[in-house]
Chains A and B, each alone.
Chain A
Amino acid sequence: MVCPKCHGHMQTYNRNGVQIEQCGNCRGIFLDFGELEALTRLEGTWSQPAPPPQAYPAPPGYGQPAAPVWGAQHHEGGHYGGHGHGHKPHHHEPHHESFMHMLFSS
C-alpha cells in the first residue's frame, strides 16, 4: 500500500488484534473502517493514571501542531523516550539527560 500523504511504502502491523498500516517514511498511520472504533474500545479497557500537568501543555482546541513530513512519530502528548504512556519525561528517565544536553548545544 502507498501512503496517501507522501507516497511512501506502508507496512501492516497488528496492534492488539487491530490491523493498522504505517508509512515507513512519514510514519503516518492508516486505519480501515472500524479500526479506530476498535482501538478506542481497547483504550477504554485500560485504566491509566492521569498524566501529571505539563509546563507547556498543547494549546486546547488546536490539536497537534503541524509536523514535517520527515518527523518522528510523536507519542500522544509526550515525546521520544516518553515510554509510550504520553506523559512528560521525568528526571529518572534514562534519556532525559541527553535530551536536555542537546537543547543547550550548538
Chain B
Amino acid sequence: MEPSGGVAARLAGAAGGRSGPHTVLADRDDATVVRVGDAVVKLHPVDTDVAALGIRLWAAAHPLTRGIWLPPLETEPGELDGRPVTRWPYGAPVDPADRDTAPWPAAGALLARLHDVPAAALPGPLPAMRGPAKAARAVARLAGVPDNPAVRAVRRAWQRLPAWARDETPYPGHATLCHGDWHLGQLVRVPAGAGAAPEEGPASGPAAPADPDAGAGDRDAFSGAPAPADGPPADGPAFSPAARPASPSAGFYASADPLPGALARTSVRPPRPAAPPYDSGGRWLLIDIDDLGLGDPAWDLARPAMWFGAGLLTAGEWAAFLGAYRAAGGVAVAADGDPWGRLDVPARALAVQTAAIALAKAAREDRALDAAESAVLATCARIAQLQ
C-alpha cells in the first residue's frame, strides 16, 4: 500500500505543476486535501459520481452562488488514480482552538442565502443533496461493530425515521439547493474580491467600484495563485463544451476563459500590496461540494440543532446561528415560533449518523467514546425511547 504522503505529494504535483512545499490539510480514507501556495487541491472519494460532481462544480462557480460558495479554480474535474481532482483558492478556516470566534451568525446567513438560490436557473440536472445518503452509509458501518446496547439504541433511533430521511425514498417536501454536510469545517474566509462579492457583476461587466471592505490589508485570493504557467491549463482539465451540463444558463460560460468570475478579473484589477495572512478579514464562504444538491433545507441546520439538543452547543450559540438564518429569510423554518417541527427529523438523523460513525471509529481504534461522542450516543438513546 502506498503511504498516503505519496498520494498527497502527487496530488500537490497535480495542482498545476508547481514544485514547491505543500501542506496536507486533510488525509482521510475517502479524501485527501493539499494546499499548494494559494491553491487547494482535493482528491475526491473513489466512488464519486463524476457527472454529478461536474454539475456541483458548475453550481459552485455560478454567479448565483457568488458570495455564498467558494468558486473553484476550474469547472472541470481533473483526475488522479481514477479519482476526480478539483482545485480551489485557499481560504482561512474557522479557528478550531477558539470557540468564541466561531462565526455562527455568518454561517446562518450563508445557509439562508444558499437555500434561496433559484435552483432551476443553475446548470442541471442538479443531483440530490447527499445528507440522507451519508446517514444511511454511516448506519451501514455499524455492521462492522460487535452488537451491544449502544449499537441497538442507534439502530432503533434510525428505524423510527421516515423513509426519505433514511435515503429510501426521495424527499417529499419542497427541495431547495442545500449544502448537505454542513459543520464548522465547511467555512473558509477569503479576502474581499475573491469571487466573494455578491454585488459584483459578471467578469465581462465594467470594473467594479472599490470594495469598501477591501482594505489595504486584503489581497485577492487568486493574485498569488496560478501564474500563467498554472492558469487556465491548455492541456489540463479542459473546458469541454461536450461535457458541459445542458442548461439555459450555461451560456454564461461560453467564454474563452475557463475560469468564470473572479479569476478573470485578476487581469483587469490592479495588483494589491503584500498583505498579512488571510485570516485578517474577508467574507466567510461555504466549501465542500461533494454533498451539494437538492433536498430538505432543514438538513443544513440539523447538525447545529442536534448539537444543541445533545447539550454540546450553548443556547446562545444556537440562537446566534438560528437567529441569523431567520433574519436572512431562511426558508427551512418559519420566521418565528418553535422550529423543531421542521428540524426534528433531520436532527435525529444527524444524531444517528454521528453516533454510528463514532461507534464504528471507536471500535476500529479500540477505544472508548470521547465526551462529545458519548453525549450524542445518549441523545440517540433518548430518541430510541420516544413513544
Q: A-side interface residues toward B, CB under 8 Å?
A: 6-8, 25, 54-59, 62, 64-74, 77-81, 88-89, 91, 94-96, 98-106
Interface of A, secondary structure class, is loop
Additional A-B contacts beyond A56-B104, A57-B316, A77-B314 (5; CB < 8 A) = A56-B319, A58-B315, A70-B309, A77-B316, A104-B184
Q: List 13 A-B contacts (CB under 8 A).
A: A6-B386, A8-B385, A55-B101, A56-B314, A56-B319, A62-B319, A69-B386, A73-B311, A79-B313, A99-B372, A100-B96, A102-B372, A103-B183
Cβ of B90 within 8 Å of any chain A Cβ, yes or no, is no
Hey, which chain A residues are within 8 Å of B256, CB to CB?
Answer: none
Give the shortest distance, in Å, between B177 (CB) and chain A (any CB). 19
Complex interface: stretch among B60-68, B223-231, B342-350: B342-350
By the criterion CB–CB under 8 Å, are B101 and A99 in contact? Answer: no
Give the shortest distance, in Å, between B299 (CB) and chain A (any CB). 13
Hey, which chain B residues are within 8 Å of A70, CB to CB?
Answer: 309, 348, 351, 379, 382-383, 386
The complex places the Cα of A105 from the Cα of B323 at a distance, in Å, of 23
Cβ of B371 within 8 Å of any chain A Cβ, yes or no, is yes
Cβ-closest 7 pairs across A and B: A80-B311, A72-B311, A55-B100, A98-B370, A56-B316, A95-B371, A104-B185
Hey, which chain B residues are within 8 Å of A72, CB to CB?
Answer: 309-311, 375, 378-379, 382
By the criterion CB–CB under 8 Å, are A25 and B315 in contact? Answer: no
Query: For residue A102, which residue of chain B has the nearest CB?
Result: B372
Cβ of B286 within 8 Å of any chain A Cβ, yes or no, is no
Q: Known contacts being A56-B316, A62-B319, is A25 close to B382, with CB within 8 Å? A: yes
Q: Interface digits, B164-198 against A, CB 8 Å rule (1 contact, 0 not)?
A: 00000000000000000101110000000000000
The complex places the Cα of A7 from the Cα of B347 at a distance, in Å, of 22
Q: Which of A88, A91, A104 is in CB contact (< 8 Å) with B314? A: A88
The complex places the Cα of A73 from the Cα of B184 at a distance, in Å, of 24
Q: Known contacts being A68-B347, A69-B386, A71-B309, is A103 close to B184, with CB within 8 Å? A: yes
The complex places the Cα of A103 from the Cα of B97 at a distance, in Å, of 11
Give the shortest distance, in Å, between B386 (CB) and chain A (any CB). 6
Q: B-side interface residues toward A, CB under 8 Å?
A: 94, 96-97, 99-102, 104, 134, 181, 183-185, 305, 307-320, 322-323, 338-340, 343-344, 347-348, 351, 354, 357, 370-373, 375-376, 378-379, 382-383, 385-387
Give the shortest distance, in Å, between B361 (CB) and chain A (any CB). 10
The complex places the Cα of A40 from the Cα of B180 at a distance, in Å, of 45
Q: Known contacts being A7-B387, A80-B375, is A67 close to B309, with CB within 8 Å? A: yes
By the criterion CB–CB under 8 Å, are B323 and A102 in contact? Answer: no
Q: Known contacts being A69-B386, A104-B185, is A59 close to B311, with CB within 8 Å? A: no
Give the shortest distance, in Å, between A69 (CB) and chain B (any CB). 7
Give the shortest distance, in Å, between B347 (CB) and chain A (any CB). 6
Q: Which of A73, A95, A100, A102 is in CB contact (< 8 Å) with B97? A: A100
The complex places the Cα of A101 from the Cα of B373 at a distance, in Å, of 10
Query: For residue B181, which residue of chain A has the nearest CB?
Result: A106
By the criterion CB–CB under 8 Å, are A58 and B382 in contact? Answer: no
Hey, which chain A residues are within 8 Å of B185, CB to CB?
Answer: 104-106
The complex places the Cα of A74 from the Cα of B354 at a distance, in Å, of 20
Q: Which of B100, B317, B322, B372 is in CB contact (< 8 Å) with A101? A: B372
By the criterion CB–CB under 8 Å, are B308 and A67 in contact? Answer: yes
Hey, which chain B residues are within 8 Å of A78, CB to CB?
Answer: 314
The complex places the Cα of A80 from the Cα of B94 at a distance, in Å, of 22
Hey, which chain B residues are within 8 Å of A65, CB to CB?
Answer: 308, 315, 318-319, 322
Query: For residue B157, which residue of chain A has the nearest CB?
Result: A70
By the criterion CB–CB under 8 Å, are B315 and A64 in contact? Answer: yes
